[in-house]
Structure 1
Amino acid sequence: MHSAIEQARGVTDHPVLTHLARVGLIAYGAVHLLIAFLAARMALGLQGADADQTGALQTVGAGPGGRVLLWAIGLGLLCLGLWQAGEVLLWWRGLLHPAHRRRTALVCAKCLAKGGVYAFLGTTALLFALGLEYEADERLPALTDDALRIPGGTAAVCLVAAGVVAVGLYTLVRGFTGGFMRDVDLPAAPDRWEPVIEGIGRIGYVAKGIAFGLVGVLLWRAATSADVTDATGLDGALTAIARVHAGPWLLAGIALGFAAFGIYALARARYPDRDPSS
């Protein structure tokens, strides 16, 4: 078992996979920059693709060489997911020791969760490259409606909503505390750039935390009121923000935050570190 895991680590630690993961981080940053662009258009009252991940991928696909770019984004993000999840192979021994089991389990869960997010977005990009497009804000209400019709469906949707809110709060905490800097190889980054990366990252994480928290709140409302029109993704959450009195200004702030997160992801691609517990 130890030998097999060491061989697997050799694959996930290979320089080629690390470089491909950097491509994935660049793609991840570019997607967030596109979301920021679409949110800014929404703030200006302009029509366009949904201001979420699927809208960003549709925008890429509609551009010159869009199909090739979607393949590159998808494969890069899948490699990024494998690279991130591969960190579990470094920490798994802690599960064998009762004193370190709980902390190690949390670290491994974070590695796998982050790897899963990258892999999901990469798979979505590949589906778009194959022409199998969909809009998240159209599918989510239908999925929620189906879930509410089965026994225990309301509790299940509430549980998912609570999980989304928890992710939003976790993202906010990382933004306020600067915990995201653990994902940057600080020794490799020039000292003069560290405060810049941290400042941009804080803005990006706070904006994402607020947006995801609102998605969870709307999903909770859909479950408790049985009105699936409240079940919406990121674009629907931004649309809800746009309806309030100061909506355009709030949307502009969210767009700035997502742009900041995109720039942070590009900086992380230059100085990547996948260790969530360092």
Structure 2
Amino acid sequence: MSPPAPSLRALGHRLHDVVVRIRRVTDSPVLVHLARAGLLAYGVMHLLIAFLALRMALGLRGADADQTGALLTVAAGPGGRLLLIAIGLGMLSLALWQAAEVLLWWHGLLDPAHRVRTAVVCAKCLAKGAVYGFLGLTALLFALGLEYEADERLRDLTEDTLLIPGGALLVGTAAAGVVAVGLYTFVRGCTGGFMRDIDLPAAPDRWEPVIEVAGRIGYLAKGIAFALVGVLLWRAATSADVSTATGLDGAMTAIAGVGAGPWLLGGIAAGFAAFGGYALARARYPDRDPSS
């Protein structure tokens, strides 16, 4: 006679033990240091975007004022390929470290009273991990010489999507999602919830106000920029004019094209620089609390 099947409770305990062991791996000092290197690269990337946006505000064109432009700037410098590999590995480690926070919250999905909130928190963990992972893979592709410009890739993708049945709806949905991300980022800058990503007990008290101000300015600037990307993508969906489908660099160009554009773009550049400073502070005092 075969032994009775293990109870659901026993299976739950076993699964919990496995998750705890995996989480211990993601909490290892080695991965934490690699994740901090990823946060450092993330901060430097925003400082480079700020520099490229400032050049645009001054009427000087160079690499696109976006993530790919920042990576191309790194690639063109001394030891560019090695730096891109370091950035890529650091960002992928950061992605793993951030996404692994799901392992702390997953059990809440089994509790009907906390299921919705837990799902939102886990979605935030995975979304952050996906962003970091995408940037890490992009850096590694650039290190291999497989370079591209984000604006051109987005226009090509938008054009291909508009050619299929229901394509305009798909592009419009994506645009609404980008606008929502921009608004969320802007609201996070208003509320200061981003400070939960800083290990405040480890940070000196005198630096907390500086970090908070930098984070607020940075999140507000990023929120405005990303919301504008969504608006431009929405225009492409409603007008079938793919020239308006553009990424961050296109949004910067659109800002520069209005009457007070150079001043506004200078402000956005300052905001991205502030966010870069905030990211550097987070690299020094990292936390991955996604509950904000």
State the TM bucket, normalised to the shorter chain: over 0.9
CA distance in 1, matches of 2:58, 2:176: 32
Return 5+ residue gaps in structure 1 as ranges.
none
> Is residue 186 of structure 2 the alignment partner of residue 168 of structure 1?
no
Structural mapping, 1:16-165, within 5 Å: 16-165=30-179
Moved over 2 A (4+): none
Q: CA deviation at 1:113?
A: 0.3
- Give the aligned residue type for 1:85: A
- Flag the structure with larger Rg: 2
Tell me the TM-score normalized by structure 1: 0.99
The one-character-per-residue Cα deviations of 1:30-84 (angstroms, maximum 9, x if unpaired) are 0000000000000000110000000000000000000000000000000000000
Q: CA deviation at 1:229?
A: 0.2
- Give the aligned residue type for 1:206: L
Match in the other structure for 1:245: 259
Return 5+ residue gaps in structure 2 as ranges.
1-14
- Give the aligned residue type for 1:148: L
SS at match of 2:201: helix
Q: CA deviation at 1:186?
A: 0.6
The root-mean-square deviation of aligned C-alpha atoms, in Å, is: 0.7
Equivalent residues, number: 278
Q: CA deviation at 1:225?
A: 0.3
CA distance in 2, matches of 1:14, 1:151: 48
- Give the aligned residue type for 1:161: A
The one-character-per-residue Cα deviations of 1:145-174 (angstroms, maximum 9, x if unpaired) are 100111111111001000000000000000
Q: CA deviation at 1:3?
A: 2.3
CA distance in 1, matches of 2:128, 2:235: 27
Match in the other structure for 1:257: 271
Q: CA deviation at 1:109?
A: 0.4
SS at match of 2:75: helix
Match in the other structure for 1:180: 194
Match in the other structure for 1:204: 218
CA distance in 2, matches of 1:7, 1:151: 47
CA distance in 2, matches of 1:2, 1:47: 54
CA distance in 1, matches of 2:266, 2:75: 25
Identity %: 79
Q: CA deviation at 1:215?
A: 0.1
- Give the aligned residue type for 1:4: V
**Aligned mate of 1:8, from 22, 28, 40:** 22
